[in-house]
Amino acid sequence: MTEPDALEQMLRAPLALAPLPDLTERAASAGLLDVAYATLDSPLGALLLASTPRGLVRIAYLDDAGGEAAVLEDLATKVSPRVLAGASRLDEPRHELDQYFAGRRRRFGLRLDWALARGFARRVLEATARIPYGSVSSYKAIAAAAGSPRGFRAAGNALGANPLPIVVPCHRVLHASGGLGGYTGGLERKRTLLAVERRPPEPSDGTP
């Protein structure tokens, strides 16, 4: 075979494409990744999930938080500028949220990073995280559990700024009169989440 023939054969042969490198893992191993994020389509709309080595740090309703760019900018400012898309690092929280919405999970087993909540606000969220699935509490009770029985308005503000909705179930906090109160993602989402938890449980597959 002549050299031009060999060259023509090489050009006509299908290219063997090498798989793209996993930039997330390379960045992490090089110490260049502090926050990984991914999105999830849910019954409540598109969610952005972000995690750090300490755990899940953010869940955002994208249509309520100014869009993906705004959420990422906020993470870069308040947590770390080393933010990178990394779907594989959010596999566990995405899977658990899918199970929750399908009625197959009543308790999340995720590690949480409280970097976006401090002081009284963090105590409010930690008290909220202890409200059992299918139960509700009041702003006054949560304020008392956080150490300030008269701080129910401040508790409401902390819940309104909850960086981890759904997983830290601020939708389970109502007015003492039974009214819904507020919700960072809108009251329709709060109604939906409460309805999810009122449904009869799906057949157990060993999920908590």
Q: What are the structural domains of the chain?
A: 119-198 (1.10.10.10)
Report pLDDT for 179.
85
| Nearest one of 9, 1, 75, 68 to 39, comparing CA atoms | 68
Q: pLDDT tens digits for 109-156?
A: 999 999 999 999 999 999 999 999 999 999 999 999 999 999 999 999
Q: pLDDT tens digits for 58-67?
A: 999 999 878 9
Model pTM score: 0.83
Report pLDDT for 20.
47
Total residue length of the chain: 208
Q: pLDDT tens digits for 16-53?
A: 555 545 566 666 665 668 999 999 999 999 999 999 99
CB 80 within 8 A of CB 39: no
Distance in angstroms (rounded) separating the CA atoms of residues 52 and 114? 10
**Catalytic (active-site) positions:** 170
Strand partners, 147: none
